[in-house]
Amino acid sequence: MKRKMNIVLALFTALALVMTMGVSVFAAGISSNDAALKKALKNAGLKKSQVQFIDTEYDSEDGIYEVEFTKKSNGREYDYEIAADTGKIVKKSVDYRYKRNSSHKKIGKTAARKKVAKFSGISYKIIKKGTCYYEYDDGRGIYEVKFEKGSRVYEYDVLAPTGKIVEYEWKVIGY
């Protein structure tokens, strides 16, 4: 009986060790600004040589790496927030450069939502459940389209005269 107890105890100890090792392997976090930058660049599909104005900071209070960079060829700005403990991207924002258009024409809310659906690959039915409103901001007419899908909240800015996506962002709900 004592021998069986020792075997069971040894098995539980071995199982606990394996589970601890597994958790550390699957929950690999980010431990440096360089690692956070690499993760953001990979997500954007860019190499370090393709970007400029790189800024990375670690917010120890929130446990978040903030990564910002600009693509050299078109001035597109990328902003990321990456959880240090898990290494997951919890927020992504992309700001597209645009030419000023003083036109006051509007494509309409339905067309703006359809542009977002085509751009994002997310169903129009999901986008339609969110909000869409027009605002005149910084000398341009914008439709701001917001919606939720899964564990993320999405926000897109669509130029009212042309339907061009000029900025988008998503973040994990709760971060």
Whether residue 175 is predicted with pLDDT greater than 70 in this model: the reply is yes
pTM for the model stands at 0.64
Co-location of 55 and 15 in the same domain: no
CA dist 79 and 89 (Å) reads 11
Instruction: Please give the angle made by the CA atoms of 135, 141 and 143, to the nearest 5 degrees.
Output: 60
43 and 22 within one domain: no
Q: Give domain status of residue 104, yes or no.
A: no
Inside any domain, residue 101: no
Are 168 and 113 found together in one domain?
yes
Whole-number Å distance between alpha carbons of 157 and 40: 22
Same domain? 113 vs 153: yes
User: Is residue 11 over pLDDT 50?
Assistant: no
Q: Which of 16-20, 97-101, 130-134 has the highest mean pLDDT?
A: 130-134
Count: domains in the chain: 3
Rg, Å, the chain Cα set: 23
- Does residue 159 form part of some domain? yes
Q: Is the pLDDT of residue 25 over 90?
A: no
Residue 26 has pLDDT above 50, yes or no: no
21 and 37 together in one domain: no
Whether the pLDDT of residue 20 is over 90: the answer is: no
**91 and 121 share one domain:** no
- Residue 102 falls inside a structural domain: no
Together in a domain, 40 and 86: yes
Claim to verify: residue 113 and residue 158 sit in the same structural domain? yes
Mean pLDDT of 6-33: 52
Q: What percent of the chain has pLDDT over 70?
A: 79
Per-residue pLDDT reduced to its tens digit, 111-156: 999 999 999 999 999 999 999 999 887 778 899 999 999 999 999 9
Q: Looking at residue 101, what is its pLDDT?
A: 55
Q: Is residue 103 part of a domain?
A: no
150 inside domain: yes
What's the CATH number where 82 sits?
Answer: 3.10.450
Residue 63 one-letter amino acid:
G
Residue 114 structural domain: 109-172
CA atoms within 13 A on the CB side of 19: 6
Nearest to 79 by CA among 71, 32, 115, 87: 71
- Shared-domain flag, residues 48 and 23: no
